[in-house]
Amino acid sequence: MEESHKNILRRNRTNLVKDLDPSNLYDGLLEKGVFTHDMIDEIKSAGTRRDQARELVRDLETRGSRAFPLFLECLQETGQHSLAELLQNGAPAVKIQPATPTQVDRPVPPLPITPESQDIRPRPPVRTRRDSIQSYKMDASPCGHCLIINNVEFDPESELSSRKGSNIDCEKLERRFKALNFIVEVKTNLKQKQIKHQLSALSKKDHSQYDCCVVIMLSHGTEVSHSRFPGAVYGVDGQFVPVQHITNYLNGQHCPSLQGKPKLFFIQACGGGERDTGFEVSPDEVEPSIGGADDQTDAIPMSSSSDSLSMSDEVDARATLPTPSDILVSYSTFPGYVSWRDTQSGSWYVETLDRILEENAATDDLVTMLMMVNHEVSQNSAKGLYKQMPGSFNFLRKLLHFQT
């Protein structure tokens, strides 16, 4: 398929997934040779009408130069005129021509068994395709809430340095998630109790009309004892909140209106490390590298969970929590290691995440995009020596495609 036609399908994917009726199209697409019997069967196995529509549009991009006009023709023939007009307005040069004869799989009478015909190999069984996994419903408008907690200036008694460049990260992510149709709320310079208050308030909202919820933490971090999700983030008062507790506020037990819906957590903070807080690479030490001269870390030495927060001081911190589902926690760095931040352009992780979402959200699912982030950040280096490896703890059950 021509790239211009692929772009039209991608731009209109949300409307196609929302309104397309694939069941009426199968016979026409088969008759015109756009899809084979096996491909139709695989699309049907995707699940709901919405999932089948998404699978059909995705497969359509692989079906040659005539697939797009033939798809428009099928839409017209099945009475789905509004969708056909929507796509055709984006491609004025496309003219729907009668399909030329195409070889398609048609039923034929059984052949008599002869010695020669016995050599014909049977068709192999249809294998379930990996991309036939169901997808989360993500078409509510707005899609859901996004809370960003941006800790930049820390209290002197906390002995934590200011996080220069974090406001750049915050602005990028605020703009990005608004573009993805989220209600974005930004809170700046929160103490530990204020962080917990904001998370509690978010968990008490009625999310029934939304499809997703996002929490973004930009702060100093440390390594703590944990039973599920590693790491912790600091309030500006020097008291931390374990990531494990942060996720508990929105799990199925404590936020019923988000049950079965994806809950995404993005953590830009160190998972640990022995470097001094806010260590800054001096210009004369910098060797040629992708990282900048103003790279800093968000690392705090490892702490015991009893330093500033008891594991049993609130309901959602109990040791016997239900297994989390529909939760994804994306970390800027591997647990126990530092996370690098340029004081002029922001953190490696957020800068890359923002760009990957901008370039790929229309075509790829979240987990695939996070793998792209992992790869690109891993290529960076500070002082020509230090590296960073993002990663995630993924408890999602389905593919997640953002609105674009």
**102 close to 67: Cβ distance less than 8 angstroms:** no
Only one residue has tokens 């994806």, namely 262
Q: Is 5 a catalytic residue?
A: no
Catalytic residue among 207, 245, 270, 401: 270
Round to whole Å and give the CA distance between 203 and 386.
38
b/e per residue, 228-248, with b = 16+ CB within 10 A?
bbbbbbbbbbbbbbbbbbbbb
Catalytic residue among 220, 245, 255, 401: 220
The closest of 354, 360, 352, 364 to 390, measured between CA atoms, is 352
**265 close to 330: Cβ distance less than 8 angstroms:** yes
Q: Is 143 a catalytic residue?
A: no
Backbone angles phi, psi at 177, to 5 degrees: -75, -25
**27 close to 90: Cβ distance less than 8 angstroms:** no
Tokens of 16: 């196609």
Residue 81: CB atoms within 10 Å: 11
Residues serving a catalytic function are 220, 270
